[in-house]
Amino acid sequence: MIRGRLAASTLGDLLGDWRRDGTGGLPAYEALAERIRLLLIDGRISADVRLPSERELSERLDLSRTTITAAYRQLRDSGYARAVQGSGTTTTLPLARPPATAPRSQVIDLTMAALPATSLLPAAAALATEELAAHYDTPGYQLIGVPALREAIAERYTARGLPTDPEQILVTSGAQGAITLLSRTFVTRGDRVFADSPSYPHAYDALASAGGRIVTSPVTPEDGWDTASLAATIGRTNPSLAYVMPDFHNPTARSMTLDDRHELLHAVAKVDTLLIADETTGELDIDRREHYGPLATLAGEHGARVVHIGSASKLLWGGLRIGWIRASADILGRVAAVRPAHDLGSPVWEQLVAAHLVRRSGEAIEERRSQLRERRGALADALARHLPDWEMPERLEGGLAAWVRLPAPVSSQVTLAARAHGIHLTAGPRFGIDGAYERRLRFPLTSPATLTQAVAILGELWPTVADTTPLRLTTSEPSV
Ligand SMILES: Cc1ncc(COP(=O)(O)O)c(C=O)c1O
C-alpha cells in the first residue's frame, strides 16, 4: 500500500492501461478519476497520500493539465481527495464504503473470501458461556492466550503430525494480527522480505508497513511455484522474513508439492531467513490427493527456521477474530514483548469458543468440504454459461477462491463496470505489488445463488468492457 508522497511514475505504473474504459465512453478525466478511486477503494493507495502535482502527472501520462485538473477536482468532489494548502492534492477515504449506483440492499460483495459460521458454533458458544464464570475473578488480559485454547491448538498440530507443546502457541487477533506482530518483531526498516506473487494483499501491507521491501517470485494456478526463481530470489536478496501459503494459496488455490517444500526450506535455511507459513486456508480441502502436514514437519532436514500461522476465521468463523502463531519459545518471547504496543491480548470468551471448535476441526473440515464443493461447481457452471471465455483454474482442489483468467487484461475495467451494477470485486492487481494481474479476477467461493446472480450480471456487462477502445482524449476533455 502506497503511503506518503506518490511519485508520478509510481501512479502511472499503478494505473496501468487505464485509457480503455468499460463504462461506455467516459471522458478521459472521469476515467482517470475512476481509476484512482479504485486504487483507493481496494487499498493500493492509502488515505493521506499526496498525489503528484498536476504538471508531473500530465507529463507522465502525456495528457493536458486541464484533464488532470478536472480529474483531481472530481476526486475532491466525490470525497476521495482534498486540497491541502501548500501540499497540492491529498487522498482521503470517505468513512462509509464508497457508494455504488445500485441500492445498498442489492450490493453483492465479492471482495471477501470467507464462509458463514460453522454450524458447530452455537453449541461451542453455550459451553464457553458456562466456562466464562471461571475467569470472572481474573483481570482477563491474556497476552499469550487462554490455556484451554493453546492446548487445543497444540493438540491439533500434534494430530496433524507436528508434535507441539502449548508453550509454543501464542493466540493473536486473527491471522492478520499474527502477520502484523511477526512483521513488527522481525523486520527492520529497509530489510528485504520475500512473498509470493500474487499473494494475500494484507500480508503485503503488513510487511511493507513494518518497513520491509518486498521481493517476489511467481505462483500460477497452472504451474504452481517457480521454485528456481524462488530459490534464486531468496539467495540473492537474503530476506529477513519469507511469507508463504504452502496449502491452498490465496488467490491461486495451489498447494506446494513435496519437492517445492524441500526446495523452499533449503533456500531459506541457506541464508537463515525466518519462514512464515500461513495456514489460514490450509485445511479447506475439497478433493486434494496429496497431504504433507505442516511445513515445519520437514524443516529439521534442512535446518530451516519455520513459524506457523493459523486462524479460526476460515474453517470456523471470522467473527471470532482468533488466530495464532506456533513458534519456538524464544521467538514467541520476542513477539510477546512487541505485542502490547498493538493490543493486550484476545477476548477471553471468543478464545473459549474457539477452544471447543478447534477440538472439532475434523467435523468442520467435512462441513466446509461439501460447502466448497457446491460453490466451486456453481461458479464453474455460471462461468461456462455466461462468460465462456473466462477460464476457471483447472486445479481448484481447495481454498476459498478461484483465480479466474480473463481473455484480456481488463480486470480493473471489469471491477469498475461491476461496481456501477452493485457488484463489488477486488481487481487482480490488488494481489500483486507492481500493477500486474490485469488478466485475473479473484472470485470468492461464496453462496451458489450469489455466484450465479453475480456472474449473470457480469456476463451482461462484459461485452461493453471487452469492446473497449482507447479513449479519444481530444474530444473528451472537459471545457474548463
Ligand atoms: C492467507 C490469509 N492469511 C490471513 C488472513 C487473515 O485472517 P484472519 O481473519 O484470521 O485475520 C486471510 C484472510 O483472508 C488470508 O486469506
Strand, coil or helix: 316: coil
All cell numbers assigned to 32: 482517470
What is the per-residue pLDDT across 319-355, written as a single tens digit (0 to 9) for each? 999 999 999 999 999 999 999 999 999 999 999 999 9
**Type of residue found at 287:** D
- Ligand 1 atom closest to the Cα of residue 249 is 1
**Which residue did the predictor score with more confidence, 202 or 479?**
202
Q: In 3D, which of 192, 126, 102 has the Cα closest to residue 457?
A: 102
CA of 28 to the centre of ligand 1 (A): 37
pLDDT of residue 77: 87
What is the per-residue pLDDT across 141-196, written as a single tens digit (0 to 9) for each? 999 999 999 999 999 999 999 999 999 999 999 999 999 999 999 999 999 999 99
CA of 217 to the centre of ligand 1 (A): 21
In whole angstroms, give the CA distance from residue 394 to residue 58.
Answer: 43
pLDDT of residue 134: 96
Arithmetic mean of pLDDT, 80-102: 72
CA of 175 to the centre of ligand 1 (A): 5
In whole angstroms, give the CA distance from residue 347 to residue 58.
Answer: 51
Cβ pair 432, 39 in contact under 8 A: no
What is the pLDDT confidence band of residue 308, given thresholds at 50, 70 and 90?
very high
pLDDT of residue 100: 47
Q: Are strands 213-220 and 192-197 parallel, antiparallel or unpaired?
A: parallel
Phi, psi for 443 (deg, rounded to 5): -105, 120
What is the pLDDT confidence band of residue 472, given thresholds at 50, 70 and 90?
very low
CA of 107 to the centre of ligand 1 (A): 23
Q: Are strands 213-220 and 81-84 parallel, antiparallel or unpaired?
A: unpaired
Choose the weakest-confidence range: 28-32, 84-88, 110-114, 190-194. 84-88
Q: In 3D, which of 345, 333, 311 has the Cα closest to residue 145?
A: 345
- Residue nearest (by alpha carbon) to ligand 1 atom 7: 175
Across the chain, what does the average pLDDT equal?
91
What is the pLDDT confidence band of residue 225, given thresholds at 50, 70 and 90?
very high
CA of 336 to the centre of ligand 1 (A): 20
The finding on whether 201 has its CB within 6 A of some atom of ligand 1 is no
State which of 115, 153, 182, 250 you would mutate to test the pocket of ligand 1, scoring each by most atoms of that ligand within 8 A of its C-beta: 250
The side-by-side arrangement of strands in the sheet containing 213-220 is 169-173, 322-326, 305-311, 274-278, 241-244, 192-197, 213-220, 224-225
The finding on whether 23 has its CB within 6 A of some atom of ligand 1 is no
- Ligand 1 atom closest to the Cα of residue 323 is 10
In whole angstroms, give the CA distance from residue 395 to residue 388.
Answer: 18
What is the per-residue pLDDT across 376-413, written as a single tens digit (0 to 9) for each? 999 999 999 999 999 999 989 999 999 999 999 889 88
CA of 280 to the centre of ligand 1 (A): 6
pLDDT of residue 115: 95
The finding on whether 323 has its CB within 6 A of some atom of ligand 1 is yes
CA of 81 to the centre of ligand 1 (A): 30
The finding on whether 175 has its CB within 6 A of some atom of ligand 1 is yes
Q: How many CA atoms lie within 13 A of 74 on its CB side?
A: 19
pLDDT at 99 exceeding the cut of 60:
no
Classify residue 248 as left (phi > 0), alpha (psi -120 to 50) or beta.
left
What is the per-residue pLDDT across 103-156, written as a single tens digit (0 to 9) for each? 556 899 999 999 999 999 999 999 999 999 999 999 999 999 999 999 999 999
Which residues, other chains included, contact 46 with Cβ-Cβ below 8 Å and sequence gap of 6+? 1, 2, 3, 40, 91
Grid cell 475434523 — which residue? 362
Choose the weakest-confidence range: 43-52, 155-164, 247-256. 43-52
pLDDT of residue 473: 41
| Residue 124 CA: distances (Å) to CA of 140, 316, 413 | 20, 11, 44
pLDDT of residue 43: 75
Q: Please tell me the pTM assigned to this model.
A: 0.87
Grid cell 492501461 — which residue? 17
What is the pLDDT confidence band of residue 42, given thresholds at 50, 70 and 90?
confident
Burial class (CB in 10 A: 0-12, 13-18, 19+), 336: middle
What is the pLDDT confidence band of residue 25, given thresholds at 50, 70 and 90?
low
pLDDT at 86 exceeding the cut of 50:
yes
**Type of residue found at 105:** S
Burial class (CB in 10 A: 0-12, 13-18, 19+), 25: middle
pLDDT of residue 476: 35
Q: How far is CA 288 from the centre of its chain?
A: 22
The finding on whether 413 has its CB within 6 A of some atom of ligand 1 is no
What is the pLDDT confidence band of residue 475, given thresholds at 50, 70 and 90?
very low
Q: How far is CA 67 from the centre of its chain?
A: 33
Grid cell 457508494 — which residue? 99
pLDDT of residue 474: 37
Tell me which long-range contacts 299-303 makes (C-beta under 8 A, separation of at least 24).
299/265, 299/275, 301/262, 301/265, 302/262, 302/265, 302/266, 302/268, 302/269, 303/269
State which of 245, 308, 314, 325 you would mutate to test the pocket of ligand 1, scoring each by most atoms of that ligand within 8 A of its C-beta: 314
Grid cell 486434494 — which residue? 288
The finding on whether 172 has its CB within 6 A of some atom of ligand 1 is no
Q: In 3D, which of 363, 305, 303 has the Cα closest to residue 334?
A: 305
The finding on whether 174 has its CB within 6 A of some atom of ligand 1 is yes
CA of 219 to the centre of ligand 1 (A): 18
- Residue nearest (by alpha carbon) to ligand 1 atom 14: 113
Strand partners, 108: 423
Grid cell 520476542 — which residue? 334
**Type of residue found at 370:** S
Q: Is the peptide bond before 251 cis (omega within 30 degrees of 0)?
A: yes
Which domains does the chain show, CATH number per domain?
8-99 (1.10.10.10), 104-117+370-466 (3.90.1150.10), 121-359 (3.40.640.10)
